Amino acid sequence: MIREFVEQHRQEMIDSLQGLLRIPSVEGPSKPGQPFGEEPAQALGYVLDYAAKRGFSVANLDGYAGHVEYGLGEDYVAVLSHLDVVPVGPGWSHPPFGAEIHDGRIYARGAIDDKGPAWSTVWALIALKELGLTTRRKVRLIFGLDEESGWKCMRHYFSVEPLPLGGFTPDADFPLIHAEKGVATLCLEMTADKDSMAPCVIHFRAGDRPNMVPDKADIEIDCHSETAAQEWEQHLHKEARQHHIDVAVKRDASKLRVTVRGVSAHGSTPDEGVNAIVQLATLLSNRNIANASMWHVIAAQDTRGKSLGIDTADEVTGPLTSNLGCAELTDGRYRFWFNIRYPAGQDGEGLLEKCREYVSDRWSVHLEGDMAPHYVPLDSPVVQVLQRVYEEHTGMKATPLAIGGATYARVIPNAVAFGPLFPGQPDLAHRRDEYWSINDFLRCVEIYAHAIYELANTL
């Protein structure tokens, strides 16, 4: 029944998905009733208005989050998605908010993370309603607007709404994720040398968010003389060739403006990107420059936290990962933000103390955020139901996974991440030319409709 419904409404599903993806829902300046800016609020309004026209009960919680509701009763099962997206970044082949379709793929920031999957759950619920499939428990689709930043949306939502019995988030991988690493943001600061006679940095900025591998780093260096600037320019190009670093250098008298290009990736998988900050530091680390020891430390950064003294691992979630996501020079202080994904049995405060003990006392280190690891036992009814649904739809064995990503599953009890990426597919979250296969979008509508129905009749 659900498959036939999907085929009958195929074009409407695609057209409406394009409408949502064309909203550039990057967090912006807060406004009354729009705490995360105009565009995220517009995305939430699009979803709630569309669902209301289909006859669902909807609610907007002060602009922080909203929900679409189906069924009756006090207890409910939840599906949590987010409508905010990370900044676009350079180098797209198609307009990042054009939602153009090429070769069966829809290209847009948010296509896979997470507006596309969120929209597939809306259509899953529409299918259940219009097919007359009732559930024992009420169902809520909950939509947040701050997942890519601070999760204030979910804190506000559950400060005024009761917790569900359980559920899932469509924001990771199939077959399902039952364990997630803890997530901490460490900030390392150092005072810029003012009295050094060596060339000095007068501007530095890199990266957009700690949870993105930075694909660009900009710096301006005062070499104090035109001759020195010429020599520096030659050296930078030579070093860049040796280390295969993408660099652009512009010289203006004694000053150099340097831009290093890397490759963006999700902060939970830093090995899949090329870190522009680390590459920039590599170019600077062999030069006589103010704060030379600092640039040596940054050039030595790795993705396992060894250079911070915090590398660790466990059998369930694997090794800690470290992503140097953004950095800046402001008010005479260098600041470097690290997105740390750490295994079970650890906590942010413990990592902070280890880092402080390991690095030079010239560094000031503090913790800017910490979310504990998340774990749902394999014998949980939620895990059992979703395993069965996945196996029925794919014919493949559903072995639960552990990841370094942080999903909304950790916000509520008895919840896991369930899709939308199928095994073997590339993870395009936070990358340029993000896309989602139209066939996978429609396939997820079918899978999520079945999953919602089974969970709401089991829990």
* Catalytic sites, residue numbers: 84, 147
Q: Running DSSP on this structure, what letter comes out for residue 192?
A: P
Distance between CA atoms of 216 and 85, rounded to whole angstroms? Answer: 19
CB-count burial class (<10 Å; 0-12, 13-18, 19+) for 233: middle
Q: Do residues 151 and 144 touch, judged by C-beta distance below 8 A?
A: yes
Helices (H), 250-346: 276-284, 292-299
Residue 173 has which token pair? Answer: 């991988």
Query: Contacts by 359-363 with C-beta closer than 8 Å and gap 24+?
Result: 359/188, 359/297, 359/308, 359/309, 360/293, 360/297, 362/190, 362/191, 362/293, 362/294, 363/188, 363/189, 363/190
Cα-based torsion angle of the residue sequence 155, 415, 314, 367 in order, rounded to the nearest 10 degrees: -10
Distance between CA atoms of 407 and 384, rounded to whole angstroms? Answer: 20
Q: Running DSSP on this structure, what letter comes out for residue 271?
A: G
Give ∠ CA 98-103-109 in degrees, rounded to 5: 30
Q: Would you call the peptide bond into 252 cis, given omega within 30 degrees of 0 as the criterion? A: no
Q: Which residues pair with 330 in a beta bridge?
A: 333
The phi and psi torsions of 59 (rounded to 5 degrees) equal -150, 140
Distance between CA atoms of 28 and 34, rounded to whole angstroms? Answer: 9
C-alpha count within 13 angstroms, C-beta hemisphere, residue 17:
36
Distance between CA atoms of 459 and 438, rounded to whole angstroms? Answer: 31
DSSP string, 101-138: EETTEEE-TTTTTTHHHHHHHHHHHHHHHHTT---SSE
CB atoms within 10 A of CB 191: 13
Please name the residue that has the structure tokens 């077959």: 175
C-alpha count within 13 angstroms, C-beta hemisphere, residue 294:
22
CA distances from 315 to 186, 320, 403, 423 (A): 24, 11, 12, 21
